[in-house]
Every structure is written in structure tokens, then in C-alpha cells.
Structure 1
Amino acid sequence: MKPYLLVLHNKIRIALKHIKYKGVKSNGILLISRNTKISVTKKSQLILGNHLINDGRFVIIIQDGKVNIGDNVYFNEDAMISCKSSVEIGSGCRFGPNVKIFDNNHRFDAENGVSSEFKAAPISIGKNCWIGSNVVILKGATIGDNCVIGAGCVISGSIPEKSIVTQNREINIEPIKG
């Protein structure tokens, strides 16, 4: 689809969402794919900054929470945000393919196993961060400004600004016996 038609398509799409769900707003030009799925409840808030771009499929699910995405943010193929509390993404961030952001998880205990109830905690991602492919960001995570999160990392704590985060994964190769 031509960029100007995509911008028009998204303006209409967000305007219709805003009519039905007052908490959905856009602050400018959106170049989000037609494969983008936005699911919100009446108490949800979604604020999309100017010049938001995504390639391919992008899923945003908000159940009574708030997602605020800054200006000039890029999401690659298969990105997902699941929000029941709060997700804040600063301006200038770049997300690689298959990045997942979950500010919630199921409650569970030893006696009953997994419940249909959830625990949630806010997520904050600073400005100008680069989040590599296949990164999972979990509830309560805070990532400071100007950070690089390497491919395949699982983030659940606090990352100070100007940090590079990688996970050490050793490959063990053994001959087949027998």
C-alpha cells in the first residue's frame, strides 16, 4: 500500500477506535501495517506518538491498562504488547522482530496450579533504546534511556541507562553415542 494511503487508512482506523473507545489517541502520522491488531477495553488508554512505524504483524492488547508509545518508534515483524497495567515506551526506540512485552502474568501456586487471574506491574522503556530480536520484556521491567538489549534476552528487572544487555548462552556439542 502506498505510504500516503496507509497514513489515511490509519487516521480513519484510529478515529473509529477513538469514537468507540475514548482512550485511543494518535499524535501524528502512523505507518502501521494493515496487519496490526489493536484490542482495547472501554477503560483502556492507548496513545500513539507521531511517526510510529511497524512492518508486518503487530498486536496490541490492552485490558483496562495504559500504553503510551512515544514519537519515532519502529516495531519490526511480529511485535506484541499485552497490557493490564501500564507500558510506557520512550521516543526513538527500535524493536527487532518477534519482541514481546507483557506487563502481566497468570497467578499460580503449588496447590491450584495456574489461575485465570493475573498479576500486573508497569513496564517502562526509556528513549532511544534498541531492543533486539526475540526479546521478552516482563512485568515490572524498567529500561533506562539509550540502552541496547541483545537478541533473545528476557528482561524482568531494572536496566540502568546507557547499558548493553546480553545473555550468555553456551552451545554444548557432543558426538552421538551408540
Structure 2
Amino acid sequence: MTSELDKMRAGDWYCSLDPEIDAIRMRVFDAVHRHNMALPSERGDIHPDLRALLPEVHETARIEGQFHLLYGNLKMAEGAFMNVGCVVLDAAQVEIGRNAMLGPQVQIYCPDHHRDPVKRGQLIERALPVTIGKDVWIGGGAILLPGVTIGDGAIVGAGSVVTKDVAPGARVAGNPARDLTQR
């Protein structure tokens, strides 16, 4: 029998209310809390307890405080930066490329809730990965929806809602985000 965690990791529909999933989430929540509550001079780029749960985050990556993360499915390459208040709902893999910069309050959503209201009420969801390329700039308050990829060198305007992939080098803004380089 396949566990709910196995289904989550495979990108299949799963129930997010599961003891095995809850245990992972609680371990990450505790480390994130320590990261957020530490004095910045003691925290460094990433609090040691949080860094221990994120083996695929480069030593030069930085996450500012008031950060939120669910499961630890986060990869950050060299020089990647998340400003204050970023929210990463990483039920699937979130990958942030080299020198990518995320402004304050950027939100990355991997969970995709079921369209059937009965199943949605039973907390049935699936998780789709989000990928951010190298040298990307995401403006403050932008929201990236499940399954999107932001191509290398792209710029996402502040407050934008990204509902589909962004081409490398593109500039997008708005709700939904639209390509400004085509105008």
C-alpha cells in the first residue's frame, strides 16, 4: 500500500492530514521558528537548525527572517536570496537558481487542491514543483502558483500572480502575470 507521503512525493493526489506528513511538517516548523526568532547576528544566512534540514541549500544562500516553509523540499543555489517574509509551501520540490533574488513577501505555492468540493473538504491535494532559474528577480509580494517554471534571467514584477511558465529573459507583471517583453 502506498502511503500518503509517497503519494505526495510522487505528485499524486494525497490527503495532507496524515501522521507521517504531520511529523515532517512539525520538525520543519520548529527549525523555521528557531530561524525566525534568532537574533540576526546569531542566525547568519540561515539558522543552523534550519540549514541541517536543507542539505540542498548552498552555503552562500540567504533566507531572511519571518520566513515560512512546510516540508524542507527546498533547493537554493549559490548566491540565491529570499528577503523578509517569504512563504514557501513546498509540498513538492522548490528549486531556486544561482543568484536568484526574491523580494519581500514572495509566496511560492506547490499544493494544488482538488476541484471536487467533497475531496477538497477531505484535504485531498496534489503537489506540483516550482522552479526558479538562475539570475531571476521576483518582486515583492509576487505569488507563484503550483507547477510554474521561471526561466533564467526573467523578472517578475512586484505583486504579480504567476499562473503559467515564464520564458527565460522575459519580464512579466500583473494578475495574472503577462509578458511585458512582447509589447
- Which category describes the TM-score, using the shorter chain as reference length? 0.5 to 0.7
1:151 to 158, 167, 183: 158
2:80 to 73, 83, 94: 73
Secondary structure, aligned partner of 1:145: coil
Tell me the equivalent position of 2:96.
Answer: 89
Matched, 1:6 2:50: no
Letter in 2 for 1:57: Q
Tell me the equivalent position of 2:120.
Answer: 114
Tell me the equivalent position of 2:28.
Answer: none
- Partner Cα distance (1:97, 1:122) in 2: 21
Identity among equivalent pairs (%) = 25
Q: Give me the TM-score of the superposition, normalised by structure 2.
A: 0.66
- Partner Cα distance (1:79, 1:163) in 2: 22
Tell me the equivalent position of 2:59.
Answer: 50
Give 1:168 deviation, angstroms: 6.9
Tell me the equivalent position of 1:142.
Answer: 149
Secondary structure, aligned partner of 1:108: coil
Shift in alpha-carbon separation, 1:140–1:10, aligned structure 2, 3 A: same
Letter in 2 for 1:154: V
Q: Which has the higher helix share?
A: 2
Instruction: Please list every run of 5 or more consecutive structure 2 residues that lacks an aligned counterpart in the other structure.
Output: 1-38, 177-183
Query: Bigger relative contact order, structure 1 or 2, given CA contacts below 8 A and separation 6+?
Result: 2
Give 1:72 deviation, angstroms: 0.7
Instruction: Please list every run of 5 or more consecutive structure 1 residues that lacks an aligned counterpart in the other structure.
Output: 19-23, 26-46, 170-178
Give 1:56 deviation, angstroms: 2.7
